[in-house]
Amino acid sequence: MAANRGQHLIGKMLGSCVLEKLLGYGGSSAVFLAQQQNPERKVAVKVFLPRAGMDIRMQRDFYRRFLREAEAVSKLEHANILPIYSYGEQDGLPYIVMPYMPGGTLAEYMARRGPLSLKEAQWYLEQLAAALDFAHMHGCVHCDVKPANILLDSDGHVILSDFGIARVAHSEADSAQTDAKHSEAVLGTPDYISPEQALGRHLDGRSDIYSLGVTLFFVLSKRLPFRADSTIALALLHVHEPPPSLALIRADITPLLDRVVRKALAKDPDDRFQTGQELSRAFAAAVAASEARSAMARPPELAFLDDEKDFTGPQPSLATPRPIVRVKSTWAREWSVARFKRMLFILTALIIIIVTTGFGVTFMNKHSTPAPVAVKSTATPTEAPMPTNPFTLISNWPQGTNAFFDQDHRYHIINTQVNNAMPAPFEDYQVQDFKLSVTMLEMASKKGGPDFHGVIFRVAPDQSFFYLFEISPRDNQQYAFLRFSSEDKQHPWRTIKSSRSSAISSGVGKSNTITIETHGNTFLFTINGVPLLDKPIADPSTKEVKTGQIGLYVENQGEEVTFSELYVETLK
């Protein structure tokens, strides 16, 4: 695509509008700032340009379809839908005239400020859902919902724009012919495309719900659920691969919020929210529940969780919650960890059984589709070398109100979860043998409760396996080295070593530097320069040496820890 695509039209008059400035362009169109003469006002004019490879017949069909659907879309009068002033065709160029929105797009807004807060996302989602439901009620499917097509005004309202490739409901007699034409000429944006849109199937409003779900995923994390090197590979990921868990990317995303987004991204339209309002209400209820920190009273908007099934494919485990226990001695700590983690595994298994009722009824069982092509999912970390100081890659760490970097480049993790640990994995990097050091300072903790925090490592992408080394400065200066493996059904949590160490600095304002060195199945731990044992700790029970991510970990509610001076050396 040439960078000056559409520049040759500047100064041209289309209807009563003189094109003055190119605002942006896409695969088949360009948008201009224009001066309309009657009435006199600044407007935006979208001009549809022929795509490379289109013959005369294809251009004619495309233009005819555009003009027919522009007429239908021009009748959509809604506060959150960008109106169409006029439309037409001149010199073989179809165009539409729309209001000019100087506030720019949601994509531009996020490029300046990063992920949205939960409340901000809720506010925008409510408006977009209302706009889409209105369009769907009038037989119009947008087909290209994404942040670049969402405009902002000066009052914080969002306006859904670019219905240029929208599909209008047709009679049964010509629906097959219409779908065939659309699949030939119009696909939408691969990053946000629904599975049925990628497969060229008949679309209804639920396709827009999927794209809205991808948009919600993006505005909350500033990353897309799927990335690939080609359009075809990306489309296949949308069709076959489960999205990553938002809870592993952003620290303040609760399991409820994660499930709401995952339901919006269900592969089968029947398993999604059926309307935008359903999605908006469920998201608002999940936000309210996260603020209340209670799952006792489930609002009706979240009733879908009672019979939730596996609508996205195999779901990655969220961070395994571990109960907060008050410990009075080293032996009590070791016994309590084993007991509570066994109880936790049973509870987690029950929840998974409830949530994934009907597990195994996959997308491929329900639909006759081509066999999946092996494509690399974003859930798999890249093989780039681990940076010496992972804190230099800020975007690879979960960030939000509960996890953030301060002006001194210290990473804060604040655990506000009830009975849930707060992990922060370093995304997209994996390592097997390494030497790691990090300095930890406890800023706040729940009075009378334990204060365990530390490092997770060799973390599987779905968190089905990882090691945890943690310390508790206030609670008898304890440390613990544990392993979690979901393959071990009887004892998923194993305490490899747990004891006390006077090397742990205890007291307000006291920091602790831990060093971890891994060699295959043996591990060396040092606290403030003092080795814990005279010889390495072995873990002979693992069948193979794992490779995985590293991350930081704060276990208990009310605890805030800052992490600094994080260094990792990869060992060969």
Integer angstrom CA distances of residue 556 from 277, 323, 328, 426: 35, 8, 16, 20
Annotated binding site: 46
Pick the last residue of a domain from 72, 99, 126: 99
Question: Does residue 37 have a pLDDT over 80?
Answer: yes
pLDDT of residue 566: 94
Name the residue range of residue 132's domain: 106-292
Rounded distance between C-alpha atoms, residue 398 and residue 566, angstroms: 16
* Count of Cβ atoms closer than 10 Å to residue 52 Cβ: 8
Q: Is 25 a member of any domain?
A: yes
Residues 26, 71, single domain; the answer is: yes
What does the pLDDT average to over 200-223? Answer: 94
Q: What torsion do the CA atoms of 149, 154, 158, 161 make, to the nearest 10 degrees?
A: -30
pLDDT of residue 1: 37
Segment 422-474, tens digit of pLDDT: 888 898 888 989 999 999 998 887 766 668 899 999 988 777 889 999 998 87
Q: Is 149 a member of any domain?
A: yes
Residues 539, 415, single domain; the answer is: yes
Annotated binding site for ATP: 46
- C-alpha angle 185/80/252, rounded to 5°? 95
Q: Is 330 a member of any domain?
A: no
Rounded distance between C-alpha atoms, residue 395 and residue 414, angstroms: 18
- What is the DSSP annotation of 17-44? EEEEEEEEE-SSEEEEEEEEETTEEEEE
Nearest to 190, CA basis, from 223, 241, 147, 144: 144
Q: Is 486 a member of any domain?
A: yes
What does the pLDDT average to over 110-138? Answer: 92
Residues 411, 537, single domain; the answer is: yes
Which range, of 204-213, 340-349, 466-475, 562-571, averages the lowest pLDDT? 340-349
Q: Is 565 a member of any domain?
A: yes
Residues 508, 486, single domain; the answer is: yes
pLDDT of residue 2: 41
Rounded distance between C-alpha atoms, residue 413 and residue 564, angstroms: 12
Residues 394, 446, single domain; the answer is: yes
Question: Does residue 348 have a pLDDT over 80?
Answer: no
In angstroms and rounded to an integer, the radius of gyration of the C-alpha atoms of the chain is: 27
- What does the chain come to in residues? 572
Q: Any catalytic annotation for residue 488?
A: no
Q: Is 309 a member of any domain?
A: no
CATH for 267: 1.10.510.10
- C-alpha angle 57/58/64, rounded to 5°? 90
Residues 95, 116, single domain; the answer is: no
Question: Does residue 333 have a pLDDT over 80?
Answer: no
DSSP single-letter state for residue 176: H
Residues 209, 262, single domain; the answer is: yes
pLDDT class of 545 with cuts at 50, 70, 90: confident
Residues 455, 397, single domain; the answer is: yes
State the catalytic residue, choosing from 133, 144, 208, 252: 144
Number of domains present in the structure of the chain: 3
Kindly list the strands in the beta sheet with 13-14, ordered across the sheet, starting from the edge strand earlier in the chain.
Answer: 13-14, 17-25, 29-37, 40-48, 93-99, 86-90
Q: What is the pTM of this model?
A: 0.55
Rounded distance between C-alpha atoms, residue 78 and residue 303, angstroms: 30
Residues 118, 229, single domain; the answer is: yes
The whole-chain average pLDDT of the chain stands at 78
419-443 in b/e form (b: 16+ CB < 10 A) is ebbbbbbbbbbbbbbbbbbbbbbbe
Which range, of 141-150, 367-376, 489-498, 536-545, averages the lowest pLDDT? 367-376
Q: Is 495 a member of any domain?
A: yes
Of 127 and 65, the structure prediction assigns the larger pLDDT to 127
Nearest to 461, CA basis, from 272, 139, 241: 241
Residues 67, 139, single domain; the answer is: no
Residues 46, 119, single domain; the answer is: no
Pick the last residue of a domain from 48, 78, 99: 99
CATH for 479: 2.60.120.560
Q: Is 2 a member of any domain?
A: no
CATH for 94: 3.30.200.20
Pick the last residue of a domain from 263, 292, 321: 292
Which range, of 47-56, 184-193, 210-219, 311-320, averages the lowest pLDDT? 311-320
Residues 48, 112, single domain; the answer is: no
* Percent of the chain residues past pLDDT 70, beyond the cut: 74
pLDDT class of 123 with cuts at 50, 70, 90: very high
Question: Does residue 125 have a pLDDT over 70?
Answer: yes
